[in-house]
Structure 1
Amino acid sequence: MPPNPSPNPTLHSFAPIEAPDAKVLVLGSMPGVASLTAGRYYAHPQNRFWPIMGSLVGAAPELDYPRRLDILRAAGVALWDVFAECEREGSLDSAIRDDTAVVNDFAGFLARHRQVRTVLFNGAKAEHAFRRFVLEPLARPDLILRRLPSTSPANASQRNETKWSAWREALREAGIAVLD
Structure 2
Amino acid sequence: MAGKSQAGGERIEHPFDPLFDEYSRVLILGSFPSVRSREQNFYYGHPQNRFWKVMATILNCPQPQTVEAKRALILEHHLALWDSVAECEISGSSDSSIRGVRPNDLSIIMKKCDIRRIYCNGRKSYDIYRRYIEERTGRKAVLLPSTSPANARCGTEELISRWSVITKDLQSQK
| TM-score where L is the length of structure 1 | 0.85
Deviation at 1:46, TM superposition (A): 0.5
Aligned to 2:119, the other structure's residue is in SS state: strand
Displacement of 1:5: 5.1
Q: Is the 8 A contact 2:9 2:92 kept in 1?
A: no
Q: Is the 8 A contact 1:83 1:101 kept in 2?
A: yes
Match of 2:80 in 1: 78
Q: Which of 31, 34, 45 is the aligned partner of 1:32? A: 34
The alpha carbon displacement at 1:61 in A equals 3.6
- Residue matched to 2:63: 60
- The aligned residue for residue 10 of structure 1 is 11
Q: After superposition, what is the alpha-carbon deviation per residue over 1:126-167, rounded to whole angstroms, capped at 9, x for unaligned? A: 0110010011122x3xx4521111000000111111001111
Say if 1:95 and 1:176 are closer, same or farther in 2 by CA, change over 3 A: farther
Once superposed, which parts of structure 1, at least 4 consecutive aligned residues long, lie more than 3 Å away? none
Residues 59 and 69 in structure 1, CA contact (< 8 A), matched pair in contact too: no
Identity of aligned residues (%): 34
- Change beyond 3 A, Cα 1:173–1:144: farther
> 1:103 aligns to what?
103
Other-structure match for 1:152: 148
Are residues 1:49 and 2:51 paired? Answer: yes
CA distance in 2, matches of 1:10, 1:110: 27
The alignment's TM-score, normalised by the length of structure 2, stands at 0.88
The answer to whether the 8 Å contact 1:59/1:67 transfers is no
In the aligned structure 2, how far is the partner of 1:145 from the partner of 1:161?
23
Structure 1 residue 9: Cα displacement = 2.4
- Write the deviation string for residues 84-106 of structure 1: whole angstroms up to 9, x where unpaired: 11111121111101xx2111111
Partners of 2:58 and 2:167 within 8 A in 1: no
Q: What do you get for the CA RMSD once the two structures are aligned?
A: 1.8
Q: CA 1:5/1:148 → structure 2, altered by over 3 Å: closer, same or farther?
A: closer
Q: Which structure has the greater CA radius of gyration? A: 1
Matches of 2:86 and 2:122, distance apart in 1? 17
Q: Give the SS at the match of 2:87.
A: strand
2:121 alignment partner AA: N
Whether contact under 8 Å (2:5, 2:11) holds in the other structure is: no
Q: Which of 149, 169, 173 is 1:174 aligned to?
A: 169
- Give the corresponding residue for 2:92: 90
Alpha-carbon distance in 2 for matches of 1:5, 1:175: 41
Compared CA separation, residues 59 and 107, structure 1 to 2 (3 A): farther
User: How far is 1:59 from its partner?
Assistant: 5.9
Stretches of structure 2 that go unaligned for 5 or more consecutive residues are: none
